[in-house]
Amino acid sequence: MSGARVRWVRGGEARIASIGPDTIVLRSTVPAPPGSRLQGTVEADGVVLALRVKVHLARREAEGEFLLVGRPLDLAREVRRYLETVTDKGEA
């Protein structure tokens, strides 16, 4: 997994595929049902940041990953801009 990596508190990891003002798309190694809240840390370029996400949609992909679409919670504007710069573009 390249780009901004997320390590979930309850185990597993994800890659941020895209992020916008109200939406985040992740490719995760573990599933999460719609309505659930995930908590983890983002690691990118040696920087570690906290991330919380409320999941709106979850789908299993052919590669065995899970596509999670949700809303970032309590994410400062500066942190969101930083994550946009280190996220894989065009893979969502």
- Domain range annotation of the chain: 5-86
pLDDT at 15: 93
pLDDT in tens, 48-79: 899 999 999 999 998 899 999 999 999 888 88
pLDDT in tens, 22-36: 999 999 999 999 999
pLDDT at 2: 56
Instruction: Kindly report the pTM of this predicted structure.
Output: 0.86
* Closest to 53 measured CA to CA, from 68, 70, 77, 41: 70
Match 């052919």 to its residue by tokens. 62
The share of the chain scoring above pLDDT 70, in percent, equals 91
